[in-house]
């Protein structure tokens, strides 16, 4: 399935977070960032792809079924242990997140599906077993070490992936966002991405942030562009 690349960005060291952590540590426990560390980090990338959107419009409200694909690309010597993706729709006065998947806290394999019983009712229910109702549009399996989410009935969706002890998080993650908005209005979004990584030669996790402009606004349409 083809899509539009929203973000293809390098990671950089979150210098502010490092300084805050070091302020709470003793002299021998502080994170020391040298040229080698910066070199490893400079090879780490993240991509976020927007897949074709399904839009369902009622006279008074519009629903957008927004599939996303998040991929982490670690460089040699780096393992991602945590990643948080934020989708902020607050640039749209009437937009809110109706549902998202995966959602809640996930620490074991589950199967999700998109189900639409009417134009005014969109939901992402968890399906038990293999039986799927006739109105199910799509389903997929989700397996993460640990995942926490928030954002339903607000304007900001957050997914946080956390690796199990001494493990790494998945490098490819399929996500789904169902948003409601005023009909005929294009959804606008700000996107944030930050991570933590285990680097060779460092005893502490290193906070990273994707090089995404804070004030950059993206149009969430199938041929999406930034504005």
Tell whether 227 is covered by a domain: no
Higher pLDDT, 116 or 128: 116
Buried/exposed 7-30: b ≥16 CB within 10 Å, e otherwise = bebebebbeebbeebbeeeeeeee
User: pLDDT tier at 126 (50, 70, 90 boundaries)?
Assistant: very low
Tell whether 225 is covered by a domain: no
**CB neighbours (10 Å) of residue 122?**
20
Tell whether 223 is covered by a domain: no
Q: Quote the CA–CA distance of 113 and 101 in Å, as a whole number.
A: 9
Number of structural domains (the chain) is: 1
Higher pLDDT, 120 or 37: 37
Tell whether 226 is covered by a domain: no
DSSP summary character for residue 108: S
Tell whether 183 is covered by a domain: yes
Helix (H, G, I), strand (E, B) or coil at 38: helix
Range of the domain at 166: 4-216
Omega before 165 within 30 of 0, i.e. cis = no
Strand partners, 71: 47, 172
**Mean pLDDT of the region 81-85:** 90
Domain of 76, CATH number, reads: 2.70.240
**Mean pLDDT of the region 79-105:** 87
227, pLDDT greater than 60: no
Tell whether 41 is covered by a domain: yes
Q: Which two tokens stand for residue 69?
A: 């694909």
pTM over 0.85: no
């Amino acid at each position: 399935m083809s899509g539009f690349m929203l973000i293809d960005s390098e990671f950089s060291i979150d210098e502010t977070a490092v300084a805050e952590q070091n302020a709470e540590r003793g002299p021998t426990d502080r994170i020391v960032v040298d040229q080698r560390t910066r070199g490893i980090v400079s090879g780490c990338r993240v991509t976020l792809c927007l897949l074709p959107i399904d839009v369902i419009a009622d006279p008074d409200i519009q629903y957008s079924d927004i599939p996303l694909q998040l991929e982490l690309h670690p460089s040699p010597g780096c393992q991602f242990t945590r990643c948080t993706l934020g989708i902020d729709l607050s640039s749209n006065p009437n937009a809110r997140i109706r549902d998202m998947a995966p959602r809640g806290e996930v620490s074991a394999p589950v199967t999700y599906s998109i189900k639409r019983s009417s134009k005014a009712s969109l939901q992402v229910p968890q399906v038990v077993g293999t039986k799927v109702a006739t109105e199910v549009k799509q389903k997929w399996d989700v397996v993460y070490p640990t995942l926490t989410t928030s954002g339903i009935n607000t304007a900001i969706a957050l997914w946080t992936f956390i690796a199990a002890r001494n493990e790494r998080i998945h490098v490819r993650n399929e996500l789904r966002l169902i948003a409601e908005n005023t009909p005929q209005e294009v959804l606008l979004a700000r996107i944030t991405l930050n991570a933590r990584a285990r680097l060779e030669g460092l005893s502490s996790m290193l906070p990273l942030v994707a090089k995404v402009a804070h004030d950059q606004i993206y149009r969430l349409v199938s041929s999406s562009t930034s504005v």
